[in-house]
């Protein structure tokens, strides 16, 4: 479902823990990290889509979170042609997103990357609010910056610091690359590097992910309005 300008309605989720750190997920078998996000289905409100995606991608239910704020308007980004299927080119341009800021009122163990048969992430961690944008796929960085900036005013205790750590994820004093990761019964791929504190959840079915979750379903449907 696209609007008349070729943008697919979508929601993005910034999930806070009690320390004002944000959930940071690693796309399956990639080195790209991002916030949870997903398309709005026909007939859904943005909030309904947000709760659906929250469960599908990280396993949380509405009673696990508190809605703190949302962006006032749509934030848009365009997707490069190389990520767009041929049958969608000329129609599909990118995403328009409503972003939600959520507070986790449950526990870390409520998070479940395998809540569905089509997982989006294979690792996650808590990160400082001003995330390192250099590990986000390039065409999404502008929207991330706009969403983080707009929603920062609603942070509990107004903890606003360490903006845009573009040089990579920093470690706190005393942390090191050998930090223990929760891996279940499987070992990390020796070539995979995760930041300290990350939790790795291997995909048991070894299925390839959808390309960046930015391709619209086929056939493309265009709807009027913005």
Q: What is the pTM assigned to this prediction? A: 0.74
Q: How far is the C-alpha of 81 from the C-alpha of 92, rounded, in Å? A: 9
Query: How confident is the model over 126-183, as pLDDT tens digits?
Result: 999 998 888 888 999 999 999 999 999 999 874 445 454 444 444 343 333 333 333 3
More confident residue, 210 or 143: 143
164-173 pLDDT, tens digit per residue, is 444 444 434 3
Q: What is the DSSP letter of 221?
A: -
Predicted pLDDT of residue 156: 86
Q: Helix (H, G, I), strand (E, B), or coil: what is residue 62? A: helix
Which of 208, 176, 205, 206 lies closest to 193, judged by CA?
176
């Amino acid at each position: 479902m696209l609007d008349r300008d070729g943008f697919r309605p979508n929601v993005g989720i910034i999930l806070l823990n009690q320390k004002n750190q944000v959930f940071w997920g690693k796309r399956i078998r990639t080195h790209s990290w991002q916030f949870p996000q997903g398309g709005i289905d026909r007939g859904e409100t943005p909030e309904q889509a947000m709760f659906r995606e929250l469960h599908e991608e990280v396993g949380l239910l509405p009673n696990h979170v508190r809605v703190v704020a949302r962006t006032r308007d749509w934030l848009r980004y365009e997707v490069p042609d190389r990520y767009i299927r041929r049958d969608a080119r000329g129609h599909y341009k990118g995403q328009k997103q409503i972003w939600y800021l959520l507070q986790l009122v449950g526990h870390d163990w409520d998070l479940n990357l395998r809540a569905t048969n089509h997982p989006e992430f294979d690792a996650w961690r808590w990160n400082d609010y001003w995330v390192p944008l250099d590990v986000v796929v390039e065409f999404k960085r502008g929207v991330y910056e706009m969403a983080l900036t707009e929603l920062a005013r609603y942070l509990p205790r107004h903890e606003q610091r360490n903006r845009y750590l573009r040089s990579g994820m920093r470690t706190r004093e005393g942390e090191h690359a050998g930090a223990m990761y929760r891996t279940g019964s499987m070992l990390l791929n020796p070539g995979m590097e995760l930041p300290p504190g990350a939790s790795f959840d291997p995909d048991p079915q070894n299925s390839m992910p959808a390309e960046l979750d930015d391709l619209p379903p086929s056939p493309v449907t265009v709807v009027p309005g913005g």
